[in-house]
Amino acid sequence: MEEMDQIYNEMIMEHSMSNKNRKPLEKATSCLLGHNPNCGDEIKLEILVKDGKIVDAAFSGHGCAISQSSTSIMIDTIKGKTVEEAKKIIEIYLKMIKREKLSSKEKSMLGDARAFENISNMPARVKCAVLSWHTMQDLLNK
Amino acid sequence: MKKLMGSYKMEKNFKNDFPIFKGKDIVYLDSAATSQKPACVLDAMRDFYKKSNANPYRGAYGLSVEATTVYNNARQSVADFLNAKESCEIIFTKNATESLNLIAYSYGLSYLKKGDEIVLTILEHHSNIVPWQKISKQTGAKLKYLYINKNFEIDEKEIEEKITKKTKVVCAVSVSNVTGTVNNIDKIIKKAHSVGAVAVVDISQSVAHSKFDVQKTNADFVAFSAHKMYGPLGIGVLYGKKELLEKMSPFLMGGDMIEYVYEQETTFAELPNKFEAGTQNVGGAVGLEAAIKYLNSIGFKEIEKHENELLSYAYKSLKKLPYVTIYSPEKNRSSVISFNIKNIHPHDVSTMLDMANICVRAGNHCAQPLTRFLGIDSTVRISFALYNDKSDVDKLILQIKNIYEKFKKYIEG
């Protein structure tokens, strides 16, 4: 049960069920579909960028609690940031999942997304935790 | 209670036959993906490599002759297992997927044309769908599906109406690897033959659980993998009626499937070598033969009794949980149950069960057209084998209840 709490903690479960960031974004300036054919997870990301800043972001789609919550938390984390800041945060997140050491500044930049640190202990689920982050990276580099 | 314990003691503990369970406290409920291997299979393979290993058919020396004999004895054992008329009707392949590709390419490409129809059940695994899609695109033959009813079964009406004079090939799984539905194979084969079509039966999911007799069913082609029936990975079987295999062209080209090779032309070997290009997996064939011996030593009557009891116990136990939806028939089911827990994604359920050392599969089980037809993305699947017992089911149900207690507020929304 302890192991279960590490992965399926309150924040991850809340975010996986929350509709806060799960909505269509009418004024979106760009969007991209992320897909994991192995498990069928599908996540569409939409962002509204104005003067180099991510003013709004949202997602739709379906998948497991890990993929849904990591998407929702990612949106919370990068909203209001510049595109360049967001790219940096995504880089740090992916570094964390790869078990690379983070500086305390990097850790604070990740905020709530640090909840996924333990996913690196579960190779079978890493894909779920990085799907939307990779998709967002591609979207911002478009 | 006394009586219960008594009957429990009478039961043979099949788990002891499987070395993987020694010193490993796991509940393995994913035998539909691949079964565990009994010691007798591992020993037979090790003995082959220790004592008889050589390239079959190649050498005139004693050891190569021995390897050839061992290989063809295994072929005879498979023929006996399926009750094939002749051992040359048994072709060794890599797995069921290769067997099904062989049928699609060697039979489908030559004998299908525009206007013809290929009928598949919606319960098929991707391995019996995707090759036929390719053949359909190349020949212009149309793909049609037999759909399941609310009880996850194919109605007779569906078989009667969809298989028509245009049908040239009918493909059906004996048992679905997702729902566990037992298809009415006799009826499907009879209907296929009544319109002059050939029947292809994928018995991968049933081969370890119930007898399949190719003469009794009159199936034209049959495919399965050894690794789902206590045998090793990397070897599969294609059964084909001799008259069909003889008129088909080879599938893979190369060494040993030839008669004469000239610079521009080749004539091919007789059955079964015609369909077995390159050095064959003799060690695998030996393992498969040992697995057949293992199954025969227990007998399908005993196997069915043991597994059906477990399956019913699991079905009833799951049915009692109001937050669980089951995707398996009430009756006519075998070895597999699919289900979902309300508001918890199957992949999360699988991870949560893994945390209690319970191995289950989550996903679409290589049957996306089926899960799409059911209106779901994926399911949790439990599948049974000889080494499972009631305590495995009890541990599963207990952990599902734990998950419910922990995530009640999300499950009940």
What's the mean pLDDT when you consider all of chain B?
95
Whose structure tokens read 């975010």? Answer: A15
Query: What integer is the mean pLDDT of B130-134?
Result: 98
Band (pLDDT 50/70/90 cuts) for residue A116 is: very high
Rounded to the nearest angstrom, the gap between the alpha carbon of residue B95 and the centroid of all alpha carbons in its chain is 9
A93: domain CATH number is: 3.90.1010.10
For residue B413, the distance in angstroms to the closest alpha carbon of chain A comes to 9
pLDDT of residue B8 exceeding 70, the answer is no
B351:A62 CB<8 A: no
pLDDT tens digits for range A27-78? 999 999 999 887 778 999 999 999 999 999 999 999 999 999 999 999 999 9
Q: What is the C-alpha separation between B110 and A108, in angstroms, rounded?
A: 65
Q: Identify the pLDDT of residue A1.
A: 65
Q: Which helix H or strand E contains B222, and what residues bound it?
A: strand B221-225
For A85-100, what is each residue's pLDDT tens digit? 999 999 999 999 999 9
Per-residue pLDDT at A10 exceeds 70: yes
Contacts of A128 in chain B (CB under 8 A): 347
Inspect the interface and report whether the beta carbons of A64 and B352 lie closer than 8 Å. Answer: no
Q: What are residue B169's phi and psi, to 5 degrees? A: -135, 135
Q: What is the pLDDT of residues B373-386, one digit of tens each?
A: 999 999 999 999 99
Q: Which fold has domain B2-34+299-411?
A: Aspartate Aminotransferase, domain 1 (3.90.1150)
Chain A contact set for B346 (CB, 8 A): 64
Closest chain A C-alpha to B27 CA, distance in angstroms: 17
B377 with A13: Cβ contact below 8 A? no
Q: What is the mean pLDDT of residues B165-193?
A: 98
Residue in B75, B17, B1, B8 with CA at minimum distance from that of residue B276: B75
pLDDT in tens, B267-323: 999 999 999 999 999 999 999 999 999 999 999 999 999 999 999 999 999 999 999
pLDDT at B260: 95
The radius of gyration of chain A's CA atoms, rounded to the nearest angstrom, is: 14
Rounded distance, CA A38 to CA B294, Å?
34
What is the percent of chain B where pLDDT is above 70? 97
B366 an active-site residue? yes
Chain B residues touching A1 at Cβ < 8 A:
355, 402, 406
pLDDT of residue B11: 59
Report the number of secondary-structure helices (H) and strands (E) in chain B.
15, 15
Spans of all domains in chain B: 2-34+299-411, 42-296
Across the A/B interface, how many CB contacts are shorter than 8 Å?
47
Residue B3's pLDDT band (cuts 50, 70, 90): very low
The answer to whether B228 and B34 have CB atoms below 8 angstroms apart is yes
User: Which pLDDT does position A38 carry in this prediction?
Assistant: 76
Q: Return the residue of B nearest to A123 by Cα.
A: B351
Q: Are B341 and B181 in contact (CB under 8 A)?
A: no
B258 bridge partner residues = B268
Q: Chain A residues with CB inside 8 Å of B353's CB?
A: none
Q: Which residue has the higher pLDDT, B246 or B59?
A: B246
Facing residue for B345 by CB, picked from A1, A3, A63: A63
Chain A CB contacts of B410 under 8 Å are 13, 16-17
Question: B42-296, which class in CATH?
Answer: alpha beta
Chain B CB within 8 Å of residue A126 CB: no
A13 lies within 8 A of chain B by CB: yes
Does the beta-carbon distance from A128 to B343 stay under 8 Å? no
How many structural domains compose chain A? 1
- pLDDT value of position B4: 46
pLDDT tens-digit map of B94-107 = 999 999 999 999 99
User: Domain containing A88: what range?
Assistant: 2-141
Reply yes or no on whether the pLDDT at B124 is more than 50.
Answer: yes
- Please report which confidence band the pLDDT of residue A142 belongs to, taking 50, 70 and 90 as the band edges: confident
| A101 to chain B, closest Cα gap in Å | 26
